Each structure stands twice: as C-alpha cells, then as structure tokens.
Amino acid sequence: MQTTLAQSVTFDGVGLHSGAPVRMVIHPAPSDHGIVFRRTDVSGVNPRIAALWDRVTPSKLCTLIENDDHVSVSTIEHVMAALAGLGITNALIEIDGPEVPILDGSSAPFVTAIRRAGLRRLPSALRAIRVLKPVEVRDGEAWARLEPAATLEIDFAIDFTDAAIGRQAKVLKMSNGAFVRELMDSRTFCRQADVDYMQAHGLALGGTYENAVVYDGDKVLSPGGLRHADEAVRHKMLDAMGDLALAGAPLMARYVGNRSGHAMTNRLLRALFADAQAWTWEDCSPAQVHSLPGAGVMRPVPLAAC
C-alpha cells in the first residue's frame, strides 16, 4: 500500500547556502499525490513544485527543483532521503523560503520527527519502477549506473586527496531499515578551502562546523569529530538516496556511483526514463513491499480513508 505521515511535522532552521531562516512543515497527503513542495511565501504564480527528476534544474552543490513559473526549492536531498528511507510515498511539504533547512547536515532530524509523527497506510496499491537493463552516464573519472535488482541497493565509492577522507567505498541493500541504521545521521561534508571559496562567492552562508563535517588535509575541523569513520561516503549514499527518490516511486535497482554527485544522478534518471526498454512499472506484491526501504521501520496507525 501507499503511505503518508499520520500527522504534520514542523522544522525551523536556516538554509545551508542562503543562510536565511526558514520554516518547513511536512503534511500528510492522499494516495497518488506523491511528494510535492509548496512555497507559502509566493503569490500570483503556481507555488507547487513536484519532487520529480524532470523538475531538477542545474544548481551548484545541491539538488534544486523548479516549476514552470520558475518557483523553486533547493537543497531538498536530505529530506527526500528521509522520506524515501522511511517508505513515505505521499506528502505535501510547505516551506516559506527557497531552501530546505539544513538542520544538522544529515537526514536524522527529519527521520526522528517523521517517525514520531507516525505512518499512515493509504488504500491505494504501491507501484515501483523496475530497472530492466543497465543504464550508465559518465563524466571523466566520475560515473553512475543503474542495474536490475530485486530492491534498491547502493554501491558508492569516493576518492579525495585529503588524507582525512581518502578513498572510501560502501555497499548496502536499502531494505530492513538500512537507511535508518547506517546512513541517516551522516552529515554533508566539504574541505576548508571549499568553504572559503563558497563563502567568498555567496554560498554556504548558513554553513557551520556543527551542520557540516569540514576537512583540512589530515584534520577533521568539526567539533566532536566524525560520527562514522567513513561518514563521507555514507553521506554521498544518503544524497544518492534522496536524488533517486525523484524517480517518483520506489526503485527496484542497484545504483553504482563512482565519484558521482547530484547532477550525475539526475542525468542517470533522465537516461533511464529516455529509454522505454530500460524500465517498467510494477505493482508491488506484499513480499516486494516488505523488501523496500522503510518496511518495518515505522508502526502504522489505522488505515486512512483519503
């Protein structure tokens, strides 16, 4: 069955890049609604933006979606990852600014609040997107690929010259609560030189050592150090989870990324949907639903009538 939240949840914070204060409320939504953002601070134009792959527009260092009236919301990847990781398929996200609050730089605050709100099953059947053949995109040494699989798997590798990051790789099947156990608390990261450059060019104005892991050569500058020895690659997997959620339905696929990022994952989804032979819709059986991300993580309240 499709799902939504049992009740609304509210988040107050600042945008990572804008530094502007923002309030965001995630509301329950009916069957077949999908994930939709609604800008409450705009008028005279359509304030709604569907969280879908074909609404992504080029943006530096984050995922940004925009509607036909050029109303946009950026840095959506962490909340999208939280919803996907908890198996939430329908929600209305109202936000009073152009950027999702960064909070602690991970998906953990979103996951915690949504789990507290509870899950509501909806009466409509759940459909997934099954990948039928490999699809790949490349850009120099970076590449990303989708391959057929029974449920979502993520295989990611990164390689940085900074000794504190270095080469990291991790593989996870995203079933049985793996996102909550393994990825949700891993924070966005950057190098000190990147921070200096971004802030000099009007970016990362809301970034702090508390909401991002900052590396400098062989040092971790953020107080308290790392949450995981391989927190960097875990966060890249978290980002991929959020960006893949823009497919609009759960993916039955293995995602393999090497030095990949937001833009490349979106290119990969565009390549997938451009090839009608590479994917198909599939009505999920109870066994398949049980293997998808989020299954068993939240206890549902009684069936919704919406």
Question: Residue 55 in 3-state DSSP?
Answer: helix
Residue 72's CB: how many other CB atoms inside 10 A?
19
Residue in 41, 136, 120 with CA at minimum distance from that of residue 300: 120
Residues that are catalytic: 262
**125 vs 123: CA distance, rounded Å:** 7
Identify residue 84 by its one-letter amino acid code. Answer: A
Residue 68's CB: how many other CB atoms inside 10 A?
9
DSSP 8-state secondary structure symbol assigned to residue 285: P
> Residue 43, exposed/middle/buried by CB under 10 A (0-12, 13-18, 19+)?
exposed
Joined together, the tokens standing for residue 64 give 């940004």
